[in-house]
Structure 1
Amino acid sequence: MTEHETAAARSRGNLLTLEAGEYRAEISTLGATVESLTVGGRDLLVRNPETGPMLFYRGAVIAPWPNRIGDGRYTWDGQELQTPITEVERGNALHGLISFQPFAPVTLAEDEVVLRSELYPTTGYPFHLLLTVHHALDPEAGLTTSVTARNIGAADAPFGTCPHPYLVAGPEALDTWTLQVTAGQVLEVTADRLLPTGTADVTPGSEFDFSAGRVIGAQEIDHAFTGLARDAQGLWRVTVTAPGGTGVELTAGEECPWLQLHTADRPEPEHHRLGLAVEPMTCPPDAFRSGIDVVRLAPGGEHEASWSIRGW
């Protein structure tokens, strides 16, 4: 592991470099963000600009809730709570509270780093958590990340987490990439605010059926899925391949029963459809209001979730 300072490091924390075989990763101490991941020198993730803040949560670790909370308002154990509105254009609280919070390295090695941060109570989230993020590189498996939350407060706390990588299959345009994932249901959402209205089955041949692998084309995706097909080890996977034969795969386990996919459609041409956001989530969008799959962390309790990214 090496630590270096660049313009990005000064604006987004110190960068910690991990290496294993042909893999190389840069991890920021700000938010425990994955700033880059390469195999054989090829980018597997969309990078942030070299200067300025992280954009569109590229490479972020998200907690204590994934995705969004409608109106930023929810009820927990009879208490009405209001979090800051961070997705102003849609009136939602987006992607938790830790993405711009400093983390301190507690373990440093050539191929792994463990970072830790304390999330203090606020009026919108009056709970006290200790968050530990472990990034580890393996020459075969690529990058595995685990997020552990421990409740160090006096009351039960709601919790959820996910990563926010934008996968890059290859140098060709996203429209040419082939996406493969098998899901049983898709979460339907409102067009204006992307808030859930219910689930629908993913039927064979429908627009969200990627079970056999299908070129993305011009299709716009910003949806959550569940009922994910798992292998003998209990893992589900998303694979994206480019016409030239390169690709990237994300896998996650039973602690993440939800998956958000987003084709990164943006009005700015320089940011439009640069990568596919693949987010394994412990609970769905707006879970703090619906209660679906929200983790209840008792005082002293812990919750861990993990996922892996590999490329070729």
Structure 2
Amino acid sequence: MPFKIQLSKTNQQELYISGKKASATIVLHQGASLQELVLDNEKIIRNLHPLTYKDTYASAILFPFASRIKEGHYSFNNQQFQLAKNDPNGHNALHGLVSNKAFSIIATNCTEKEAIVDLAFNEKEKLKGFPFTYNIKLTYILSDTELLLRATFTNTSANSFPFTYGWHPYFCSEDLSKSTVQFKSTKQVLFDDKMITNQIVDVKIENGLEIKDNTLDDCYQLATSKVGFVTPTYNLEIATTSENGFLQLYTPPIKNCIAIEPVSGVSDSFNNKLGLKVLHPKESYAVEWKLKLTNHQ
């Protein structure tokens, strides 16, 4: 049975990809975010109802910054900028500028083995706090046991701009307390009471973290580019082409879900420069994230 790609009959902003063992739902006007994912008939990503996308940023592409910018303020090339303070407490700018943008379908292709969707967003407006224009192209490739997401960011403005990036997926488990996030790290990023980076401390994590009953909102510098999520019913490998990246872990107020977020920079990256990159005019930067089911019970 070949893969199929179609818009939802009830919501033309929902793009549905389906195959014999895999399916995905992408919501175009919510930053082309991946709201549901099934691999090898196992639900990996599910709707977080009653939590809303506005509150969770579920599977959002984080650009031009991941996490927070302190009080929305930063300087770049001897200029001062003020972003909107959109976090729940009104203290900081949160999770970039594209999570609520509407993406367009550029191309689709289906075979017996996979489905490919190309999506794009073109920012033409120069915001007061980020007066730069850019294009984002997203490519989703779905097969029976894997999902690949490729993001390409292109600077279309006349000036260089700073950026970090990330992806904010939540993964579900039959029993999160019996699940483990596997990764290696020697550095943990600590935050103040407003979730702004204030310290980096040495840690020794060789085999990851058993989640148990812990409430997480933690950040680590990754020693490798691969992360594992081991649950009672499936094992997932989360890989990225990004080097020297960070891992944000967050448990939302809903059972048996966890955000495992690969990000290139930390909270307040525009000011502390941790993971910060610069994109020059006409330059592009690409990153890939791959989810691979490695063991299915």
TM exceeding 0.5: yes
Structure 2 residue identity aligned to 1:200:
V
How far apart, in 2, do the equivalents of 1:309 and 1:24 lie? 13
TM superposition score normalised by structure 2: 0.88
Partner of 2:95: 95
How far apart, in 2, do the equivalents of 1:215 and 1:299 lie? 44
Deviations 1:129-187 (A, max 9, x none): 011111111334x111111111110000112211110112x322x22212211111110
Partner of 1:122: 127
Q: Is the 8 A contact 1:129 1:149 kept in 2?
A: yes
Partner of 1:261: 249
- SS of 1:217's partner is coil
- SS of 1:202's partner is strand
After TM superposition, the structure 1 = structure 2 runs for residues 32-47 of structure 1, keeping only pairs within 5 Å, are: 32-47=32-47
- 1:248 to 2:236 alignment: yes
> Of 142, 152, 155, which residue of structure 1 is paired with 2:156?
152
Q: Is the 8 A contact 2:6 2:17 kept in 1?
A: no
How far apart, in 2, do the equivalents of 1:81 and 1:302 lie? 23
- 1:277 to 2:265 alignment: no
After TM superposition, the structure 1 = structure 2 runs for residues 22-101 of structure 1, keeping only pairs within 5 Å, are: 22-30=21-29, 31-49=31-49, 53-89=53-89, 91-101=91-101
> Of 216, 219, 222, which residue of structure 1 is paired with 2:217?
222
- SS of 2:46's partner is coil
How far apart, in 1, do the equivalents of 2:20 and 2:223 lie? 30
Q: Is the 8 A contact 2:174 2:256 kept in 1?
A: no
Q: How many pairs align?
A: 285
How far apart, in 2, do the equivalents of 1:160 and 1:150 lie? 13
Structure 1 residue identity aligned to 2:170:
Y
Structure 2 residue identity aligned to 1:143:
L
Q: Is the 8 A contact 1:48 1:55 kept in 2?
A: no
Structure 2 residue identity aligned to 1:164:
H
**Bigger strand share:** 2
- SS of 2:185's partner is coil
- 1:295 to 2:277 alignment: yes
- SS of 1:71's partner is helix
Runs of 4+ in 1 over 4 A off after TM superposition: 50-55
Q: Is the 8 A contact 1:151 1:298 kept in 2?
A: yes
Identity %: 23
Q: Is the 8 A contact 1:48 1:54 kept in 2?
A: no
> Of 162, 182, 195, which residue of structure 1 is paired with 2:166?
162
How far apart, in 2, do the equivalents of 1:289 and 1:45 lie? 33
How far apart, in 1, do the equivalents of 2:51 and 2:273 lie? 38
- Cα drift, residue 289 of structure 1: 1.4
- 1:212 to 2:207 alignment: yes
How far apart, in 2, do the equivalents of 1:139 and 1:76 lie? 44
- Cα drift, residue 48 of structure 1: 4.2
Partner of 1:286: 268
How far apart, in 2, do the equivalents of 1:305 and 1:15 lie? 24
- Cα drift, residue 62 of structure 1: 1.4
- Ranges in structure 2 where 5+ consecutive residues have no aligned partner: none
How far apart, in 1, do the equivalents of 2:74 and 2:90 lie? 16
TM superposition score normalised by structure 1: 0.84
How far apart, in 1, do the equivalents of 2:198 and 2:53 lie? 33
- SS of 2:153's partner is strand
- Ranges in structure 1 where 5+ consecutive residues have no aligned partner: 204-208, 231-235, 267-271
Distance 1:52 1:225, change over 3 A: closer
How far apart, in 1, do the equivalents of 2:207 and 2:95 lie? 31
How far apart, in 1, do the equivalents of 2:6 and 2:27 lie? 10
Structure 2 residue identity aligned to 1:5:
S
Q: Is the 8 A contact 2:22 2:142 kept in 1?
A: yes
How far apart, in 1, do the equivalents of 2:58 and 2:271 lie? 25
Q: Is the 8 A contact 1:167 1:248 kept in 2?
A: no
Partner of 1:113: 117
- SS of 1:283's partner is coil
Q: Is the 8 A contact 2:181 2:210 kept in 1?
A: yes
